[in-house]
Structure 1
Amino acid sequence: MAQKPSAAQGPADATERASRIKLMIFDVDGVFTDGSLFFTAEGDTMKSFNSLDGYGVKALASIGVQTAIITGRQSGIVTARVRELAITHLFQGVEDKTVALAELLQKTGVAASECGYMGDDWPDLPVMRLCGFAAAPANAHPEVIRRAHWVAEARGGHGAVREVCDAILRAQNRYDDLLATAIGG
Structure 2
Amino acid sequence: MTHSADWRAKARGIRLLALDVDGVLTDGTLHFQSDGQETKCFNILDGLGIKLLQQSGVVVALITGRESSMVSRRAEALDIAYVQQGREDKLVALQALCEQLALPMKSVAYCGDDLPDLTAIRAAGLGLSVSNAPDYVREHADWIPSRPGGQGAVREICDALLSCQGHWDASLAPYLDDLE
Q: TM-score, normalised by structure 1?
A: 0.93
What is the SS of the residue equivalent to 1:31? coil
Question: What is the rounded CA distance, in whole Å, between the counterparts of 2:58 and 2:51 in structure 1?
Answer: 9
1:112 maps onto 2:109 in alignment? no
Deviation at 1:173, TM superposition (A): 0.6
State the distance in 1 between where 2:157 and 2:137 align: 15
Q: How many residues align?
A: 178
Indicate which of 132, 141, 152 corresponds to 2:145: 152
Aligned partners of 2:10 and 2:81: how far apart in 1? 22
Query: How far, CA to CA, are the matches of 2:81 and 2:108 in structure 1?
Result: 14
Shift of 1:180: 1.7
| Counterpart secondary structure, 1:157 | coil
Where do 5+ consecutive residues of structure 1 fail to align?
none
User: Residue 29 of structure 2 corresponds to which residue in structure 1?
Assistant: 36
The farther-off stretch of 46-55 and 128-137 is: 128-137
1:17 paired with 2:10, answer yes
What is the match of residue 133 of structure 1?
Answer: 126
Q: Which residue of 2 aligns with 1:165?
A: 158
> What is the aligned counterpart of 2:2 among 1, 5, 9?
5
Q: Secondary structure at the match of 1:152?
A: coil
CA distance in 2, matches of 1:37, 1:71: 14
Task: Give unmatched runs, 5+ long, in structure 2.
Answer: none
Within 2, Cα distance between the matches of 1:151 and 1:106? 26
For residues 117 and 184 of structure 1, the distance between their equivalents in structure 2, rounded to whole angstroms, comes to 33
The one-letter amino acid paired with 2:132 is N
Per the alignment, residue 142 of structure 1 pairs with 135
Deviations 1:124-150 (A, max 9, x none): 001111110011111011112111111
Distance 2:73 2:113 in 1: 22
Q: What secondary structure sits across from 1:126 in the alignment?
A: helix
Q: What is the CA–CA distance in structure 1 between the aligned matches of 2:9 and 2:81, rounded to whole Å?
A: 24
Identity %: 42
Q: Please tell me whether residue 66 in structure 1 is matched to residue 51 in structure 2.
A: no
Partners in 2 of 1:165 and 1:95 — Cα distance?
Answer: 24
Q: Structure 1 residue 87: deviation in Å?
A: 1.0
- Residue 139 of structure 2: SS of its match in structure 1? helix
Query: Secondary structure of 1:139's match?
Result: coil
3-state SS in 2 of match to 1:74:
coil
2:174 counterpart residue number = 181
TM, length-normalised to structure 2: 0.96
* Aligned match of 1:27: 20
